Structure 1
């Protein structure tokens, strides 16, 4: 069936547009508005934000361990036990999603937003894929100086490939029945649930320079290249007065390797009813997988269409720990 919102492409289940951003059925406009209006963050909260399929689940595991252990050997075993027995989506609730979960302390399924609102007096870990134009509403009515925000981003070519497989594997996208060539045209058009990468990523990174909120940029590529340094940087951003024990650092890096996470049912989303039987949430976890999907012509078209956005992103990353974003 052809989309009534963008007749160039097929319809995606539950599709709608809010604030010029397309979405699919894993959320809805009413729910996003509730997040904007009702969620208030405190300085004790940590927000993990990203464009979909950019590595936020990986960072959620890392931050879960750092948050639970506070960098101390004394609390390390408790932190490790936590990630082995509690699903990542319960430790780091996905605030705008519609899926119902039985959160810790609850006896019935409910929404992540309601769980987070109930725990407003406690330090919270919060995951979101909302663009800054939506999450800005949350930050503006949050207690100063606001939460600490980790913004995770990734090479858009690899994101496109990962999103293609995600569209094919998630019931909330239909699942998508088109092939890579069809999806590539959607990607280049910017008709992707959660928005056009060229719009969403620069908006969030721009906020580092135009607001007083604490925003830490972290690329998937740097995390793959130097996980130890990234974990250290994350810890001291989140807990500037803390002390990270070397044993904790090594444990966090080891327990959040791709292989360990792929085999951990608390993080790999296996047996999740929202996914098709064939889908693997943690597929390859590597940099440069786009080369197995993009034709030379598609790569050239993508480079041309994304040149301005990549240039803007790299300007915004100047004077941060992040190297320039390149197509590896």
Structure 2
């Protein structure tokens, strides 16, 4: 088991972020820059602003700016990147269970993922920097495991061009992403009189005006980076992870520099990780009162929300945007 947080001399990461040392330093910054950014309201009380071509939730903008300017990577950092609602929670769980398996064997009954939400184990740097709490990252032992929703173009240059820091990116069939985002909106909706409909979300998405959109720009940032530097950027597809989770965990472990051994595989390590991080297992955990992190977790749910005409229209937009990239996202 990992050492108790606080005994930094022998602490080895990753450790659950919620168990790490906390230090708060909230701050308000960048007000003048943010005020000048283009803005739209996509649903009642929810403002988005455009920064360097990306549409960001207003509450996240200070964090993105601060992340760009202040973040200092360590050579063994791992950053999990994704558009929202594309398998982020699952990827966090799989990555944490894989990297921390020496301290926390996935078959143990007291594994952190059985008592903590994966978001408590792997911090969202966008949120930390938004709250002025980035010093919490300094307390984490190496290797640090973090995640972000920002476009590749918005990453700090120190991350995008660091020879050591690794990035694991996961994307999802865009129509399913929209449906999952819609489920998330509905589950977190308050009685604010909002009349924001799925059709509204769809129309905004067709224009690229959704959370951390446009989706095609998000994908087209990380895809070529994975092709140019496959040792630094691993590009995953949610649907392929669903079809063959064992092989994807094996590839994830190899990429992260902790490949599974013949002995570990014979003992069922990969199966234990997949079972521990199974969507139903995580959803059943008492750490998951907010089930919107997992809607259905399946591929193809878009057919229950989109007309054939809507699907055809969105497919055409995405295919046009991805044309020439060598990437095809199966519907």
Corresponding residue for 1:256? 277
Structure 2: unaligned runs, 5 residues or longer: 1-37
Deviation at 1:21, TM superposition (A): 1.3
Distance 1:11 1:137, change over 3 A: farther
- Note if contact 2:170-2:235 (Cα within 8 Å) is conserved in structure 1: yes
Corresponding residue for 1:104? none
Q: In the alignment, does 2:131 pair up with 1:123?
A: no
Taking the aligned partners of 2:180 and 2:213, their CA distance within structure 1 comes to 15
Taking the aligned partners of 1:237 and 1:215, their CA distance within structure 2 comes to 9
Structure 2 SS opposite 1:217: strand
Corresponding residue for 1:95? 125
Taking the aligned partners of 2:259 and 2:243, their CA distance within structure 1 comes to 27
Corresponding residue for 2:99? 67
Corresponding residue for 1:86? 116
Q: In the alignment, does 2:320 pair up with 1:308?
A: yes
* Segment of structure 1 superposing worse, 121-130 or 216-225: 121-130
Distance 1:215 1:79, change over 3 A: farther
Distance 1:310 1:228, change over 3 A: same
What number of residue pairs does the alignment pair up? Answer: 290
Distance 1:200 1:111, change over 3 A: same
Structure-1-length-normalised TM-score: 0.79
Corresponding residue for 1:49? 81
Corresponding residue for 1:193? 211
List per-residue Cα deviations over 1:152-194 (Å, max 9, x = no partner). 000001001111222333469x796311111110111111121
Match of 1:134 among 154, 163, 172: 154
Structure 1: unaligned runs, 5 residues or longer: 101-109, 272-278, 317-323
Distance 1:141 1:34, change over 3 A: farther
List per-residue Cα deviations over 1:189-247 (Å, max 9, x = no partner). 11112120111111111112345860011111001000111111111111256626122
Q: In the alignment, does 2:297 pair up with 1:288?
A: no
Taking the aligned partners of 1:117 and 1:171, their CA distance within structure 2 comes to 34
Q: How does 1:96-245 map to 2 (within 5 A)?
A: 96-97=126-127, 113-119=134-140, 122-140=142-160, 142=162, 145-170=163-188, 177-210=195-228, 214-239=232-257, 243=261, 245=264
- Note if contact 2:40-2:49 (Cα within 8 Å) is conserved in structure 1: no
Taking the aligned partners of 2:183 and 2:216, their CA distance within structure 1 comes to 20
- Note if contact 1:227-1:253 (Cα within 8 Å) is conserved in structure 2: yes
